[in-house]
């Protein structure tokens, strides 16, 4: 059977399959990159959570040792805990006397993620107990 000029080239079905194949291949490239970004964001948030918990623990230890005045405090944990991070974190804590023996403690972690500032805030109420 003889073909004419108008019949030469790819069929519509072949072109559609090729287009679908290209879309699937592009998804295999984009999805891992997106997942890596999500994992990086979650890693930053988890690190901020642990650093804020450390700050609350340090404030609580100072309450229990009668060595804490009302006010705002910078990072009270080990100095190298902030230096060894890939992302820069600013950790602050505040203590405010609440009643005769209680303190309202707050820890705040601030970091940059994707060009925007992110913040995590934790609060804890503690009371000083006298041991016999």
Q: How many Cα atoms within 13 Å fall on the side-chain side of residue 8?
A: 4
Q: pLDDT tens-digit profile of 48-65? A: 999 999 999 999 998 888
Examine residue 132 and state whether it is found in any structural domain, yes or no: no
Global pTM reads: 0.73
Examine residue 5 and state whether it is found in any structural domain, yes or no: no
Q: How many structural domains does the chain have? A: 1
Beta strands in the chain (DSSP E): 71-73, 89-98, 102-113, 116-127
Q: What mean pLDDT, rounded, does the chain reach?
A: 85
Task: Give the 3-state secondary structure of residue 115.
Answer: coil
Examine residue 3 and state whether it is found in any structural domain, yes or no: no
Nearest to 101 by CA among 123, 126, 124, 67: 126
Binned at pLDDT 50, 70 and 90, residue 3 comes out as: low
User: Would you give the distance in Å from CA 109 to the centre of its chain?
Assistant: 10
Q: pLDDT tens-digit profile of 22-34? A: 988 887 887 788 8
Examine residue 105 and state whether it is found in any structural domain, yes or no: yes
Examine residue 27 and state whether it is found in any structural domain, yes or no: yes
Examine residue 2 and state whether it is found in any structural domain, yes or no: no
Q: Which domain holds residue 118?
A: 11-127
pLDDT at 131: 63
Q: Quick check: 93 and 105 in contact, CB under 8 A?
A: yes
Examine residue 1 and state whether it is found in any structural domain, yes or no: no
Examine residue 120 and state whether it is found in any structural domain, yes or no: yes
Q: Beta strands 116-127 and 102-113: pairing type?
A: antiparallel
pLDDT at 7: 60
């Amino acid at each position: 059977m003889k073909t004419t000029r108008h019949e030469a080239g790819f069929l519509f079905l072949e072109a559609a399959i090729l287009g679908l194949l290209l879309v699937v291949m592009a998804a295999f490239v984009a999805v891992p990159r997106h997942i890596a970004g999500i994992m990086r964001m979650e890693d930053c948030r988890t690190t901020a959570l642990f650093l804020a918990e450390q700050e609350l623990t340090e404030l609580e230890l100072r309450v229990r040792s009668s060595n804490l005045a009302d006010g705002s405090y910078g990072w009270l944990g080990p100095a190298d805990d902030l230096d060894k991070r890939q992302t820069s974190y600013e950790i602050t804590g505040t203590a405010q006397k609440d009643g005769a023996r209680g303190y309202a403690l707050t820890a705040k972690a601030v970091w940059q993620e994707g060009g925007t500032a992110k913040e995590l805030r934790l609060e804890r109420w503690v009371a000083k107990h006298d041991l016999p």
